[in-house]
Amino acid sequence: MRAKKEKSFDGISIRGKETVMAVGYGSYPYLQSIMQIILIEAVLYSVIFGFATGLKLPVVQLPLLGAIFFFGLVCWGLFAFFKAGIVIFLPILATYLYGFFRMWKEVGNGFWQIENYFITFMNKYYGTHAYTFLVDNYEPARVITVFLIFVTLPLALILSLIILNKASHLLYYPVTLPIIILPFVVGRIPSTSSFSAYIAATFGIFVLGNHIRMSGAGTKEERAALKEQKKIMDSSHYRINIKGSFLMFCSVLLLFLLISLCFSKTTYEYKMNIPKVKKEVRVKIEKIDVKNVADYFGFLNNGKIVIFKYYTASGGLNEGRLGGVGKLNYDNKTDIIINVLENSKTVYLKGFTGSTYDGNAWNGLSDEAMADYAQYKAMWENINLEAADQTGGLLRLMEEALGYVQPMGFYRDYMNIQNVGANSKYTYMPYYPSLNEETGMDTANPEYSKSSAARMGYLISYYYYTGKEDILNRDFFTELAKYQQKPAVYGGMNEELKNKLMEYKETDKQYRTFIEKYYMQVPYSGLEQLKADMEGKYAEMREKYGEEKALSALTAYIRTYIQKNTAYSLKPGTLPKGKDFVEYFLYEKKQGFCTHYASAAALAYRFAGVPARYVEGYIAKPTAIKNGKNIGSKTVTTFSEDDEMKQQTVVEREVRISDSGAHAWVEVYKDGWGWVPVEMTPGFQTEEDSTPAGQNEITPSVTPTPQVTATPAVPEQSDTNNEKDSSGAEKTAKGSRMNYKDIAVFMLAAMLITLVFLITAGVLIKAYRFISLKKAEPGKKTILIYRKVKFLIKAAGVPLDEADYKHSALMVEDNLQQLKEKEFLQFIDIVLKARFGSGPLTPEEAESAGNYYHLVKKTVFRSLPVLKRIICGLYFV
């Protein structure tokens, strides 16, 4: 009866009295290797260059081709010879990660540049009007090439797994198809060479994915045997498949090249009915709201890692995010619809309010501030007002007492506001609303009001300013005292009005404590230049122009200070790591748009001693209002300077504001009145924002950066323009060039360190084995020697017959002629005696085994390549 197969610790298996030896693995078939490498490189080339040529991306071809060849070869080697491949791959991976860390801005800008090309072709092909990303001033060809190079490595890893049969061939389609299809979506076709290579490679992968299916087995032993048999058959079948795959690749490539010569673009569009398809796709694309998609995936962002770095906030708002804002994706679709009188001045619709500045963003009041606000909220409620309704409440109080507010330069009207595309988190309010009369409005927060129920349309009662004088120049406490002495429309109201105004004045005075505590905060460090230039300026203006004109004078000073050495641009680039947003804007980059100007002004006011805060919302300028749709007219009652009442008919217009009307400005707190919007962005000033008469001499006595000449002026442009950077800045930012030399040095250092580590580890392993062999007794020593001999014979590619060691001896002699059959059998007899014999080995037998090992080592090493010889010598023998 045949004995059961057993396996000893030294790898010698015995079946009865037969010695079983492991089958050696043969050398890697060179033809198979070449076919695998060609397929990997072909797919990499077809995908990368198919995508690049399809979208007409400017790339530096030589580095990109080099990266494709290099990464393809490295990834093939990694999975074909894993132990040796991982040694080479690790320093390359370290360099890859280091390079990504050093050039992450270039990689990101390359991605956004590619998106811009895609959007441009989409607009042209489908007739859409999507706007492109704002990117830093890098040369497009360089950053796009860098991005594609970094994409090549992970793509090469996946393709190598598929082509070397380490992963399912089905993975090939979801990985490569979307990249190839993207150019077709916008009516672009990749180059003939890349696309034909992709089609041919895809047919080849399809053939490669064909596997053998074997029926199941009953018992556990049968299943194990079947599994082993299937493994052997799969290996054999793969060798057939790879040849068939390569043959299919070559055949289809040739066929495709022949067909492409006859298949013109005109024929293609006629056969595929392109106009109809374009129309259908355009309709589907225009239904996609990219803003909603970005908001949906906003949870991926956290405090340290930001996936959506270049924000495109819903409705055009950035919600206080500053340094990462790099995309103005104007779709020119209507976000807000308002009804407003034609003679209205600039209408500001307030949305987001920022109170706390952290160097890179504005945030709302903290929980501590809101808890502190509770006592002041109660004070306002005691006089039937709210902090969020302070000014509107004051005007409503005056109107109730006097019967009118027109002599104060205000007119009460109703604004119908419809939110059709703006961020629904906010209720967009005009300034000076009368909210206590508006049911369903929550005024609990001092920074904004919101609807207590979700609704996209609301009717707001508000007071719009018709006066000619700048509100910042008016002393409202003096004016209110004057109105207390005027005769009331309704008898007996003067005393009541007097008492209410006294309560209002006292509440405002106490509330000023809260305002100064939270709206005068500035960063603990940084912004030293702005602090030095602004500190004490408000007191200086009060002394020079008086209390009434001081705030207006300070506003003119800050506006000149900010605008003098900066230029308006919609493409200022992103904020470098570690930089303060305002400081970088004012003294280094000197280019920005509304968020830059509003942020800088808010901090300038605070340093000067005036409470201020940052606001985002929508703006409708007088020209936009007058161009609105005529929806009727209203009779408006006004008062002349002599308090004479007069009436006039004013057209009411429907004004549609798109997301290009999103804007940022600054609010300052005026005692006795409340928050007043102030415009700081060039090109947005209205008549009421202009320098007051007699104050033309107000200019900063100290320029922000006297040692640097001013940035060349840029023509004023509004946020409604998707303008190109007209500053003439170099395409590649100075000091931000890609450090190719640095990365090359790092790669060499990483490879050198890896090499030293591997040699050191090999020497230690070899020393340990030498000591272990020296100390071992003859029997154990012989077993250790056998392991080395067995490894060397396998390394030489000699197939060993597992069932017959005599046959194995013949195989050894046939392949390694210096190793005779007789010597091999004598060596095996000594090994078997050491492993299974009852007596100890003699010194002569142990010495004979050692001599045979040295003979095998000398013979095998002659046939091995130098690198393989070194690896075997250090780590295995």
pLDDT tens track for 841-866: 888 888 888 888 888 888 888 887 77
How far apart are alpha carbons 71 and 264 in whole angstroms?
35
| Averaged pLDDT for residues 545-562 | 90
pLDDT of 821 above 50? yes
- Range name among 15-29, 548-562, 704-718, 809-823 with the lowest pLDDT average: 704-718
Please tell me the distance from the alpha carbon of residue 228 to that of residue 350, in angstroms, as a whole number.
73
Is residue 712 pLDDT above 60, yes or no? no
pLDDT at 560: 92
What value does the mean pLDDT of the chain take?
Answer: 75
> What pLDDT score was predicted for residue 325?
55
Mean pLDDT is lowest, of 23-32, 286-295, 463-472, 619-628, for 286-295
DSSP per-residue string spanning 474-490 = --HHHHHHHHHTSPPSS
d(CA 385, CA 443): 10
Distance CA 103, CA 761 (A): 33
Over 80: is that where the pLDDT of 696 sits?
no
Whether 553 shows a pLDDT value over 80: the answer reads yes
Cα–Cα dist 350/666, whole Å: 11
pLDDT, residue 230, reads: 63
pLDDT recorded at residue 703: 40
| pLDDT recorded at residue 832 | 81
Q: Which of 818, 823, 831, 830 is nearest to 858 (CA)?
A: 818
How far apart are alpha carbons 372 and 754 in whole angstroms? 60
Report helix, strand or coil for 239. Answer: helix
Query: Pick the residue with more confidence: 219 or 717?
Result: 219
Q: What percent of the chain stands above pLDDT 90?
A: 13
User: What long-range pairs does 715-719 form, CB within 8 A, spacing at least 24?
Assistant: 716/568, 716/682, 716/683, 717/568, 717/570, 717/683, 718/683, 718/684, 719/328, 719/570, 719/593, 719/594, 719/660, 719/661, 719/662, 719/663, 719/681
Question: What phi and psi, each to the nearest 5 degrees, are found at residue 715?
Answer: -55, 135
Of 29-43, 186-200, 491-505, 728-742, the range with the lowest mean pLDDT is 728-742
Per-residue pLDDT tens over the stretch 221-235: 666 666 666 666 667
Query: Which two tokens mark 210?
Result: 């064909």
- C-alpha span between 63 and 144 (Å, rounded): 12
pLDDT-wise least confident of 338-352, 613-627, 657-671, 753-767:
753-767
CA distances from 171 to 77, 198, 205, 247, 352 (A): 20, 15, 10, 22, 45
Question: Which pLDDT belongs to residue 525?
Answer: 83
- pLDDT tens digit sequence for 268-303: 555 555 566 655 655 555 455 444 444 444 444 444
Range from 148-157, 361-370, 428-437 carrying the lowest mean pLDDT: 428-437
Question: Band of the pLDDT at 44, cuts 50, 70, 90?
Answer: very high
Residue 328: per-residue pLDDT = 52
Tens digit of each residue's pLDDT (9 = 90 or more) over 480-491: 666 655 554 434
* % of the chain residues with pLDDT over 70: 71
Residue 314 has what pLDDT?
39
CB-side neighbour CA atoms (13 Å) of 317:
29
Q: Are strands 429-430 and 567-568 parallel, antiparallel or unpaired?
A: unpaired
- Judged against a pLDDT cut of 90, whether residue 611 lies above it is answered with yes
pLDDT of residue 265: 57
In 164-312, which ranges are continuous DSSP H helix? 172-185, 192-208, 220-260, 265-272, 274-286, 290-296
Which one has a higher pLDDT value, 143 or 755?
143
Q: Is 634 helix (H, G, I), strand (E, B) or coil?
A: strand
Can you give the pLDDT at residue 290? 45
- With cut-offs at 50, 70 and 90, classify the pLDDT of residue 561: very high
554 pLDDT more than 90: yes
Lowest mean pLDDT among 314-328, 769-783, 843-857: 314-328
Looking at the predicted structure, is the pLDDT value of residue 62 above 80?
yes
Q: What is the DSSP letter of 586?
A: I
Q: Which two tokens stand for residue 668?
A: 């300052």
pLDDT above 50 (res 58): yes
Q: How far is CA 163 from the centre of its chain?
A: 32
**Where would I find the H helices in 445-524?**
476-484, 493-518
Return the exposure string of 787-819: e unless at least 16 CB atoms fall within 10 Å of the residue's CB, then b. bbbbbbbbbbbbebbbeebeebbebbbeebeeb
Q: Which amino acid is at 866?
A: V
Query: What pLDDT does residue 331 have?
Result: 62
Q: How confident is the model at residue 2 (pLDDT cuts 50, 70, 90)?
A: very low
